[in-house]
């Protein structure tokens, strides 16, 4: 039996079509992927992301431990700042992607739900020195409130001003009277927040946020729109675009790989070499030139020869075209390169384009 998140009864009451995802019974959609996608792009929507794995790390060696395990430079984080990062295997393959928060007395890691157990075990087996790790996934609920009206909605229920909270910064505050960690983060390309709160108070916070968002037609958003929103921004999905057979350099994640960290990190030797020699393939954005939709594993061709394959694909509700992510040999990775995707035996024209596919997101740069 799949597990239930603290918001499960709200999803069922809202008519959510429930599916098993990462071991949880979660809504894939409520009244349609396209209208839910448009809701987030135009006003505000709420995602139950309680299935994500949440891990606290404490102790005087916590910083050194996290810096050794992750690719980004955790030493650069100020208190209440967050960073996107990657856990790698020694061969540079990706264990998971994650967000690392520095909090006053601890670090807080948020990992993919489907990888929660694997990541926890991986971190556990590398523990050394004064480091204590605790997986607090079940004790907490996690919501993502996303869209151009997200701040207006959250400000009404939040105990402190949110305007000064920058992108990838967090605050400890009360949401509807409930103690919560709130960060300006998300997976949509829109402005928005994620709130981490005690599971026992989850429904109270949900109801307050929906009451606050009523004037903006706030809606719960399912996993289907979460996928189309992130794809339009070229945000990688573990299991599709990145996994243990891919590395952060070829996946275009060099911006979160601090190769110059003095002590290095697991996988840094391989990734340094790859950065210097350049990877043989790269994750690119493909825009279909006709009415086709590329799907994962479809071959990508150039002049009839295979050059790679699709890892994610959908119809983009924002640009109304087939869009896809996929790996291609490096010499074909340049924006403007014309390629083909083998759509069930038919070669459909596609163009390599610069990310993101959707260029009007409300996410504010710092």
Partner 1 sequence: MADFPSDLKYAKTHEWVKLDGDVATIGITDFAQGELSDIVYVEITALGKTIKRDEPLGTIEAVKAVSDLYSPVSGQVTEANEALKDSAATVNKDPYGAGWIAKIKLSDPVELDGLLDATAYAELAAKSAHH
14: tokens are: 């809202």
CB 60 within 8 A of CB 128: no
Q: Which residues pair with 197 in a beta bridge?
A: 141
Q: Is 96 or 232 the residue whose CB approaches partner 1 more closely?
A: 232
Least CB distance from residue 314 to partner 1, whole Å?
6
Using rule CB under 8 A, residue 22 touches partner 1: no
DSSP 252: T
Burial 30-40 (b: 16+ CB within 10 A, else e): beebbebbebb
Least CB distance from residue 326 to partner 1, whole Å?
16
* Contacting residue, 92, 189, 224, 308, with partner 1 by CB under 8 A: 224
Q: Is 32 or 59 the residue whose CB approaches partner 1 more closely?
A: 32
Q: Is 31 or 363 the residue whose CB approaches partner 1 more closely?
A: 31
Q: Supply the angle between the helices 150-157 and 202-212 in degrees, to the nearest 10.
A: 120
Ranges within 268-307 binding partner 1 (CB under 8 A): 291, 293, 295
Using rule CB under 8 A, residue 117 touches partner 1: no
Q: Is 19 or 302 the residue whose CB approaches partner 1 more closely?
A: 19
Least CB distance from residue 1 to partner 1, whole Å?
10
Upper half-sphere CA count for residue 80 (Cβ side, 13 Å)? 14
* Contacting residue, 5, 7, 29, 333, with partner 1 by CB under 8 A: 29
Least CB distance from residue 185 to partner 1, whole Å?
25
* Contacting residue, 203, 270, 315, 353, with partner 1 by CB under 8 A: 315
# residues near partner 1 by CB under 8 A: 17
Using rule CB under 8 A, residue 185 touches partner 1: no
* Contacting residue, 3, 4, 32, 211, with partner 1 by CB under 8 A: 32
Q: What stretches of the chain show up as alpha helix (H) in DSSP? A: 8-13, 33-42, 62-69, 116-125, 150-157, 202-212, 223-232, 268-277
Using rule CB under 8 A, residue 38 touches partner 1: no
Ranges within 327-366 binding partner 1 (CB under 8 A): 344
Q: Which residues pair with 85 in a beta bridge?
A: 98
The residue to which tokens 């998140």 are assigned: 5
Using rule CB under 8 A, residue 314 touches partner 1: yes
Least CB distance from residue 327 to partner 1, whole Å?
21
Using rule CB under 8 A, residue 3 touches partner 1: no
Cα separation, 258 vs 301, in Å, equals 33
* Contacting residue, 5, 11, 26, 33, with partner 1 by CB under 8 A: 33
CB 347 within 8 A of CB 301: yes
Q: Distance from CA of residue 197 to its chain's centroid?
A: 19
Using rule CB under 8 A, residue 312 touches partner 1: no
Ranges within 83-112 binding partner 1 (CB under 8 A): none
* Contacting residue, 4, 14, 18, 38, with partner 1 by CB under 8 A: 18
Least CB distance from residue 297 to partner 1, whole Å?
12
Residue 274 backbone zone (phi > 0: left; psi -120 to 50: alpha; other: beta): alpha
Cα separation, 161 vs 163, in Å, equals 6
Using rule CB under 8 A, residue 13 touches partner 1: no
Q: Is 162 or 315 the residue whose CB approaches partner 1 more closely?
A: 315
Using rule CB under 8 A, residue 309 touches partner 1: no
Burial 170-195 (b: 16+ CB within 10 A, else e): bbebebbebebbbbbbbbbbbbbbbb
* Contacting residue, 45, 148, 317, 361, with partner 1 by CB under 8 A: 317
* Contacting residue, 3, 4, 14, 17, with partner 1 by CB under 8 A: 17
Cα separation, 84 vs 101, in Å, equals 9
Q: Supply the angle between the helices 33-42 and 223-232 in degrees, to the nearest 10.
A: 60
Task: Give the interface with partner 1 as residue ranges (CB under 8 A).
Answer: 17-19, 28-29, 32-34, 224, 228, 291, 293, 295, 314-315, 317, 344
């Amino acid at each position: 039996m799949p597990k239930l998140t603290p918001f499960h009864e709200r999803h069922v009451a809202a008519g959510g079509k429930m599916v098993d995802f990462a071991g949880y019974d979660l809504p894939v959609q409520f009244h349609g992927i396209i209208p839910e996608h448009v809701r987030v792009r135009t006003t505000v929507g709420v995602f139950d992301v309680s299935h994500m794995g949440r891990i606290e790390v404490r102790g005087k060696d916590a910083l050194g431990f996290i810096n050794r395990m992750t690719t980004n430079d955790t030493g650069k984080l100020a208190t209440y700042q967050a960073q996107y990062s990657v856990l790698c295997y020694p061969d540079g393959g990706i264990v998971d992607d994650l967000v690392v928060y520095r909090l006053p007395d601890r670090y807080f890691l948020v990992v993919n739900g489907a990888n929660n157990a694997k990541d926890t075990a991986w971190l556990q087996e590398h523990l050394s020195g004064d480091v204590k790790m605790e997986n607090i996934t079940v004790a907490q609920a996690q919501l993502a409130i996303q869209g151009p009206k997200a701040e207006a909605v959250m400000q009404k229920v939040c105990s402190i001003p949110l305007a000064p909270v920058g992108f990838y910064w967090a605050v400890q505050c009360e949401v509807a009277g409930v103690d919560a960690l709130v960060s300006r983060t998300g997976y949509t390309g829109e402005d928005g927040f994620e709130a981490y709160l005690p599971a026992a108070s989850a429904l109270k916070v949900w109801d307050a946020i929906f009451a606050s968002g009523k004037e903006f037609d706030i809606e719960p958003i399912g996993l289907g729109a979460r996928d189309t929103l992130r794809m339009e921004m070229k945000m990688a999905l573990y299991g599709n675009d990145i996994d243990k057979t891919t590395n952060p350099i070829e996946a275009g994640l060099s911006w979160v790989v601090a190769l110059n960290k003095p002590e290095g990190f697991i996988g840094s030797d391989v990734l340094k070499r790859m950065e210097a020699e350049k990877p043989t393939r790269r994750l690119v954005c493909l825009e279909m030139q006709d009415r086709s939709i590329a799907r994962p594993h479809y071959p990508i061709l150039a002049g009839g020869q295979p050059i790679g394959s699709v890892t994610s694909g959908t119809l983009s509700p924002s640009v109304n075209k087939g869009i896809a992510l996929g790996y291609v040999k490096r010499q074909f990775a340049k924006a403007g390169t014309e390629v083909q995707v083998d759509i069930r035996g038919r070669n459909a024209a596609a163009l390599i384009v610069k990310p993101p596919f959707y260029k009007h997101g409300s996410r504010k740069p710092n």
